[in-house]
Amino acid sequence: MSIWRILGIIAIFGATSIGWFVLGGVTSMRTGTQSRDLEGAVHELWGRMQTQEAPRFVFHREDIRRSTRDGVLYEETVYVPEVNRADRTRVDVDLGLDARRKGLMWYALYDVDFSGGWRYTHTGPGGPLDVVFPFPDAAGIYDGFRFVVDGVDRTDELQPEGGQVALRMQIAPDQTIELQTAYRSRGLESWRYRPADGVSRLEDFQLTMTTDFADIDYPYETLSPSARERTEAGWTLTWAFEQVVTGHGVGMQMPTEVQPGELATELSLSAPISLLFFFLVIFVLDRLRDIGMHPVNYLFLAGAFFAFHLLFAYSADHLPVEAAFALASAVSVLLVVSYLRLVVSNRFAFVEAAAAQLVYLVGFSLAHFWAGYTGLTVTVLSVLTLFLLMQWTGRVDWSEALSRKPAPKPRPQPA
């Protein structure tokens, strides 16, 4: 095999790699464009990420302000707001996953059934008190909303404004009031409960969350549950604290499906690795068995590999990811096997070449489905490939193997 044939194979590998990088960039742009175009529609239909804040009990303390103007002393009565938090919290949250797919994007949508009860004990003089309940999303939809104070439904008295409702009432010294609220809503990606802004003290706190999905995860800067119990559909999680000082809240990150657009981009950008190992195996077998494959043969093999990623990238937004992957794999393997059957032999095509393609194309690509294990899987396959090639070629005289010419193939005799 001349140096020009080796350079030709290298050139084919380089050109195919450039094609994969272009395909990965185009797929990434398609995914980004679809995401921007659909984001507004998804938010209008399903809302946004929800963060439910605890209610605030704002007491307006009466104060006398004195000022002197032109030698005359003036006194003015003002009300200074003092924000207080509940001294007991009981919250129940029921989360139901409703993942939806649009084009190359999966959206982790959810339904939330929220109910909460808080107790506030007033210390100090009596006066006006605002019971303020903020909604998690100012533009959200809240079905069946209830606002009950001391057992009396006050919902009809409220007028939402600025993403919250507030009830003005008079409170006496040492008076205790009970607040219960409930609603049904829907959101996107994550749900959180924030007891207070910044670091605060939580007293007699309990939040119970049920999910209908098993793959649970907690958002950044949230507390882990005190107890959790597996149910038939998902989990029952409980956060219970007698007294704790923290700046973290409680939350749940919705599980996400494999994103077709992101997966297609990752497969395209990592494809040169799989083709490199496949070419190495075919090249070594070519020299060991005096097959004499031409660079043009490698060009068609590279095209069959590229067909896998091209077909997957443009079928993943119309088919389920698993179906698109199976279709692309079957087409690519069929192209390689049917071609090498004509170039070399049936045994070489159906055994060595097919096995190598299943490992380095299908296997490498499947590793991207296992988040967190992709790099490890590729590393293990790479080390095994290196070991296999070293065992095959340990006794080969490469000076002779690269210089000798393959035996001429017999020409078919005319009938």
Tell me the Ramachandran region of residue 36: left when phi exceeds 0, alpha when psi lies from -120 to 50, beta otherwise: alpha
Q: Burial-class residue 261 by CB neighbours within 10 Å (0-12, 13-18, 19+).
A: buried
Taking the C-alpha atoms of residue 314 and residue 289, their distance in angstroms, rounded to an integer, is: 38
Q: Which residues contact 342 (CB under 8 A, 6 or more apart)?
A: none
180 or 284, which is more confident: 180
Q: What percent of the chain shows pLDDT beyond 90?
A: 43
pLDDT exceeds 90 at position 401: no
Distances in Å between the alpha carbon of 408 and those of 3, 291, 292?
20, 9, 9
| Pair of tokens at residue 235 | 């989990």
Length of the chain: 415
pLDDT digits (tens, 9 = 90+) for 287-321: 888 888 899 999 999 999 999 999 998 888 888 88
pLDDT digits (tens, 9 = 90+) for 238-256: 999 888 888 788 999 998 8
DSSP-derived 3-state class of residue 52: strand
Q: What pLDDT sits at residue 65?
A: 73
Taking the C-alpha atoms of residue 227 and residue 254, their distance in angstroms, rounded to an integer, is: 19
Q: 162-190 in b/e burial notation, b at 16+ Cβ within 10 A?
A: eeebbbeeebeeeeebebbbbbebbbbeb
DSSP-derived 3-state class of residue 376: helix
Taking the C-alpha atoms of residue 15 and residue 17, their distance in angstroms, rounded to an integer, is: 5
**Other Cβ atoms closer than 10 A to 263:** 22
pLDDT exceeds 70 at position 406: no
For domain 47-253, give its CATH number from 2.60.120, 2.60.40, 1.10.3470, 3.40.50: 2.60.40
Distances in Å between the alpha carbon of 102 and those of 108, 264, 318, 371?
11, 15, 9, 22
The pTM for the full model equals: 0.71
**Beta bridge partners of residue 153, listed in sequence order:** 148
Q: 47-61, 139-153, 262-276, 386-400: which has the minimum mean pLDDT?
A: 386-400
Return the domain boundaries, the chain.
3-36+258-403, 47-253
pLDDT band at residue 191 using 50, 70 and 90 as cut-offs: very high
pLDDT digits (tens, 9 = 90+) for 342-364: 999 999 999 999 999 998 899 88
Q: What pLDDT sits at residue 2?
A: 66
Report the sign of the C-alpha dihedral through residues 305, 307, 313, 319, in that order: negative
| Pair of tokens at residue 107 | 């959206």
